[in-house]
Amino acid sequence: MSRAERLLDLMQCLRRHRHPVSGTALAQSLGVSLRTLYRDIASLQAQGADIQGEAGVGYVLRPGFTLPPLMFSAAELDALTLGIRWVSQHTDPELAQAASNALAKISAVLPADLREAMAATPLLAGPRCLPTDLHTHLPADQHDHLPVLRRAIRLEHKLDIVYHALSGQKTERRIWPVALGFFDRVRVLIAWCETREALRHFRVDRLLAIGELDERYAQRRQRLLKMWREQEGVAPQQ
């Protein structure tokens, strides 16, 4: 866990308590030492957080302080980016422009590393109209696979999958997950398939089994995503 994420977790923990909570309880909740906790509290206070209390007494966060966007976790930035992109794709031009403006404002105040991570998020908002072969549904719960897929994409880990193909056959593949496309009714995984030696699309609700390997694939995800964009003629999302 990065220091920024740890400070964010500390803020969230303090927000859950209306009355002073001991440093020991906070440290145990966050899985850090007391020394680290005291240092993190001092850092938040230096940033303007109205945290009152002291060692042996307890700490309480007074209302009114909001962390700057730099304190967003990676998952929160992914959620914000995907949500704003979704609005841009699925609403009227005025609201779509407002969403783009909001994304630009958030990006402008992020530190360089988080700004790059936000721009490179692998979560894509699909268009309103789906390709014909995406309209058929299976009764699977596609949400069950999403956390594993997002983690594998972020870590650039290979996956072994069992896939229910449109032909009706079940196939086993080893793939390099690149990005996720979020359409109205289905989620589509973009991945390099070692069997086909090419970029392919896999409907998440057709994934029957997933096994994450502790092995990074040979190319960087951003390079593969660029290859996919060129292949499909898809411009980068703003």
Convert the pLDDT of each residue in 62-86 to its tens digit: 876 555 545 677 788 888 888 888 8
How many Å separate Cα 166 from the centre of its chain?
Answer: 29
Q: Mean pLDDT over all residues of the chain?
A: 83
pLDDT in tens, 18-67: 788 999 999 998 899 999 999 999 988 887 788 888 877 889 988 765 55
Q: Please check whether residue 59 is in contact with residue 26, taking contact to mean a CB–CB distance below 8 angstroms.
A: yes
Task: Give the 3-state secondary structure of residue 54.
Answer: strand
Question: Length of the chain in residues, anyone?
Answer: 238
Joined together, the tokens standing for residue 197 give 């030696």
**163 neighbors 170 (Cβ within 8 angstroms):** yes
- CA gyration radius, the chain: 21
Name which of 74, 194, 183, 206 is nearest 131 in CA terms: 183
